[in-house]
Chains A and B, each alone.
Chain A
Amino acid sequence: IAGITQAPTSQILAAGRRMTLRCTQDMRHNAMYWYRQDLGLGLRLIHYSNTAGTTGKGEVPDGYSVSRANTDDFPLTLASAVPSQTSVYFCASSDSLRGKNTGELFFGEGSRLTVL
């Protein structure tokens, strides 16, 4: 089934540890995104990528890094996790090239991260 796969589904992490959340899409969408979801704050954009090889900062990028080596994969790395990064992380993608620009995002199932 086409879509977005995120891993892990859930993770408990000690503060100070490094963590990478994985995201893979098979829809050949050019753009990919990472959002965090926090109660009362909705979804906030962390980083995004327009195409493979390019990335950009979103609303809350501090403490996170991303890479986009190819079209399908967009990992999110926490270099040194802190408790305030406890959240649910959603990866998303969109197709905004070749006249297919609908502005619609497709989301993964989410990764619940707890930093102690």
Chain B
Amino acid sequence: AQSVSQHNHHVILSEAASLELGCNYSYGGTVNLFWYVQYPGQHLQLLLKYFSGDPLVKGIKGFEAEFIKSKFSFNLRKPSVQWSDTAEYFCAVNARWGIQGAQKLVFGQGTRLTINP
């Protein structure tokens, strides 16, 4: 069965610091990879996604992620964080993207990011 592991449960940074959140998955086949963000009191929103091609993916709000197939990793990065980036971040893997039907995303445990002004 697929699984997703996020290394950091809670990360605290100051504004302008650089960010990297780790994500590893276990699945040997072709996958789609996602990062979702959940701002306080809100629903999950897509931050960025990887399907194929360039392993460096750029998303909204200056976020990017790099897919390293050999390491089964999809780490999220941002060069300079802002207070408004305070949120919970979820990595997710979908191993059924090529198949019609329901997409069973498997989510990591989430990483709570707190940015101090």
**A residues touching B (Cβ–Cβ < 8 Å)?**
31, 33, 35, 40-45, 48-50, 56, 58, 90, 94, 96-97, 101-105, 107-110
Check A58 against B107 for contact (C-beta < 8 Å): no
Check B102 against A48 for contact (C-beta < 8 Å): yes
Check A107 against B43 for contact (C-beta < 8 Å): yes
Check B44 against A50 for contact (C-beta < 8 Å): no
Contacts of A48 in B (CB 8 A): 102, 104
Q: A102's contact among B44, B97, B99, B110, by CB below 8 Å, is which? A: B97
Least CB separation from A45: chain B residue: B104
A75 to B90, CA, bound (A): 25
A97 to B100, CA, bound (A): 6
A103 to B102, CA, bound (A): 9
Least CB separation from B95: chain A residue: A103
Contacts of B106 in A (CB 8 A): 45
Contacts of A56 in B (CB 8 A): 102
Is residue B53 contacting chain A, with contact meaning CB distance below 8 A? no
**B residues touching A (Cβ–Cβ < 8 Å)?**
4, 6, 9, 32, 34, 36, 42-46, 49, 51, 90, 94, 96-110
Check A58 against B104 for contact (C-beta < 8 Å): yes
Check B107 against A96 for contact (C-beta < 8 Å): no
Main secondary structure of the interface of B (DSSP, over half): loop
Check B90 against A42 for contact (C-beta < 8 Å): yes
Among B6, B45, B49, B103, the most chain A Cβ lie within 10 Å of the Cβ of B103
Least CB separation from B97: chain A residue: A103
Least CB separation from B93: chain A residue: A103
Check A101 against B100 for contact (C-beta < 8 Å): yes
A104 to B101, CA, bound (A): 12
Q: A101's contact among B46, B97, B105, B109, by CB below 8 Å, is which? A: B97
Q: B103's contact among A44, A90, A96, A109, by CB below 8 Å, is which? A: A96
Contacts of A43 in B (CB 8 A): 44, 90, 107
Check A103 against B107 for contact (C-beta < 8 Å): no
